[in-house]
Structure 1
Amino acid sequence: MILETFPADKRTLISCIVGVWWSLCVMILALVAYVMKHSEWRWLCAVCGFPGIVCVFEFWYIRESIRWLFAKGKIVEAERIVKRAAKLNGVDFESTWTKCLKSNESAMELHQLGEQSKQLIDRTATNPEDEAKVHPKETALGLWTMMKYSTTRNITLVVMFAWLITSVTYFGLYLTSSSLSGDRHLNYFLTASMELPSSFVQYKLFMLFGRKKTIIILIASSAVTLLAVAVLKSIGDSDAINTSTVVLSLLGMVGISGAFGGLWLYTPEIYPTTLRNAGMGIASATARIGSVISPYTRML
Structure 2
Amino acid sequence: MANFEDLIEELGGLGKFQVFLTFCIISCQFFIGWSMLQMSYSGLIPDYRCLIGDDVDNTTQRYLNNNLNVCEVNGTSCTSYHFYGSSKTVISEWDIVCDLKWAKPTITSVQMGGVLLGAILAGQMSDTLGRKNSLYSFVTFHIVLNVVAAFSVSWIMFAVLRFFIGVGIGAVVVIVFNYPIEFLPIKWRPVLSIIPSWTLGVALFSAAALVLDNWSHLHLACAILSTPSLLGFFFVPESIRWLAVQGRLKEANAVVEKIARFNGTEIPVNTAKILQEVVDTERKSRETAQNYIYLDLFRSLNMAKNNVVLWFFWFSLSSSFYGISFGVASLSGNLYLNIFLLAIMELPVQFSTFFLNNKFGRKRSSLAFFTLAALPCLGCLLAQLLASDDVRGPAVNGLSLTAKMMVGAAWSCAQIWTSELYPTVVRNLGFGFGNVGARVGGIVAPFIINLDDMPVVAYAVMTGLLFSCSVLTLVLAETKGSTLSDSLATDTEGGKKQNHHEKGEMDMGNRVGGGGGEGEKTKLEN
Q: Is the pair's TM-score, using the shorter chain for normalization, greater than 0.5? A: yes
- 44, 54, 62: which one aligns with 2:218: 44
Alignment of 1:85-234 (within 5 A): 85-94=259-268, 97=271, 101=274, 109=281, 111-112=283-284, 116=288, 139-148=290-299, 150=301, 152-234=303-385
**Number of the residue aligned with 1:287:** 438
Query: 2 CA distance for matches of 1:26 and 1:163?
Result: 21
**Number of the residue aligned with 1:236:** 387
Residue aligned with 1:6, SS: coil
| 8 Å Cα contact 2:322/2:445 also seen in 1 | yes
Q: 1:64 to 1:152 in 2, by over 3 A?
A: farther
Query: 2 CA distance for matches of 1:45 and 1:288?
Result: 23
| 8 Å Cα contact 2:260/2:267 also seen in 1 | yes
How far apart are 1:171 and its partner, in Å? 0.7
| 8 Å Cα contact 2:247/2:279 also seen in 1 | no
Residue aligned with 2:333, SS: coil
Alignment partner of 1:27 is 2:203: yes
Q: Alpha-carbon deviations, 1:187-208, whole Å to 9, x = none?
A: 1221112122233222332342
Query: 1 CA distance for matches of 2:263 and 2:393?
Result: 54
Q: Alpha-carbon deviations, 1:81-102, whole Å to 9, x = none?
A: 444322321223217859x959
Q: 1:54 to 1:74 in 2, by over 3 A?
A: farther
How far apart are 1:149 and its partner, in Å? 5.1
How far apart are 1:12 and its partner, in Å? 3.1
* Structure 1 runs not aligned, ≥5 long: 118-138
How far apart are 1:260 and its partner, in Å? 2.6
Which has the higher Rg, Structure 1 or Structure 2? Answer: 2
Q: 1:156 to 1:8 in 2, by over 3 A?
A: farther
Higher RCO structure (Cα 8 Å, ≥6 apart): 1
Residue aligned with 2:258, SS: helix
How far apart are 1:184 and its partner, in Å? 1.8
| 8 Å Cα contact 2:314/2:438 also seen in 1 | yes
Query: 1 CA distance for matches of 2:270 and 2:376?
Result: 49
| 8 Å Cα contact 2:199/2:344 also seen in 1 | yes
Query: 2 CA distance for matches of 1:114 and 1:29?
Result: 41
Q: 1:218 to 1:10 in 2, by over 3 A?
A: farther
Alignment partner of 1:14 is 2:165: no
Q: 1:186 to 1:206 in 2, by over 3 A?
A: same
Deviates more, 1:59-68 or 1:26-35: 59-68
Query: 1 CA distance for matches of 2:445 and 2:398?
Result: 20
* Structure 2 runs not aligned, ≥5 long: 1-177, 458-526
| 8 Å Cα contact 1:86/1:96 also seen in 2 | no
Amino acid at match of 2:219: C
Query: 1 CA distance for matches of 2:392 and 2:340?
Result: 21
Amino acid at match of 1:48: C
Residue aligned with 2:221, SS: helix
- How many residues get paired? 272
CA RMSD of aligned residues (A): 3.6
Amino acid at match of 1:208: K
Q: Alpha-carbon deviations, 1:242-274, whole Å to 9, x = none?
A: 322222211112211122334445544555565
Q: 1:213 to 1:143 in 2, by over 3 A?
A: same
Deviates more, 1:164-173 or 1:184-193: 184-193
How far apart are 1:234 and its partner, in Å? 1.2
Amino acid at match of 1:116: T
Q: Alpha-carbon deviations, 1:24-68, whole Å to 9, x = none?
A: 11011111111122x2x2332333244444565666654555566
Query: 2 CA distance for matches of 1:91 and 1:59?
Result: 24
Query: 2 CA distance for matches of 1:113 and 1:209?
Result: 33
Q: 1:161 to 1:211 in 2, by over 3 A?
A: same
TM-score, structure 2 as length reference: 0.44
Query: 2 CA distance for matches of 1:65 and 1:271?
Result: 26
Residue aligned with 2:327, SS: helix
Amino acid at match of 2:288: Q
Query: 2 CA distance for matches of 1:32 and 1:196?
Result: 21
| 8 Å Cα contact 1:218/1:255 also seen in 2 | yes
Query: 2 CA distance for matches of 1:186 and 1:111?
Result: 51
Q: 1:7 to 1:212 in 2, by over 3 A?
A: farther
Deviates more, 1:279-288 or 1:187-196: 279-288
Q: 1:276 to 1:216 in 2, by over 3 A?
A: same
TM-score, structure 1 as length reference: 0.73
Query: 2 CA distance for matches of 1:154 and 1:235?
Result: 39
Q: 1:114 to 1:5 in 2, by over 3 A?
A: closer
| 8 Å Cα contact 1:68/1:273 also seen in 2 | no
Query: 1 CA distance for matches of 2:246 and 2:264?
Result: 27
| 8 Å Cα contact 1:27/1:189 also seen in 2 | yes
Deviates more, 1:222-231 or 1:77-86: 77-86
Query: 1 CA distance for matches of 2:361 and 2:248?
Result: 33
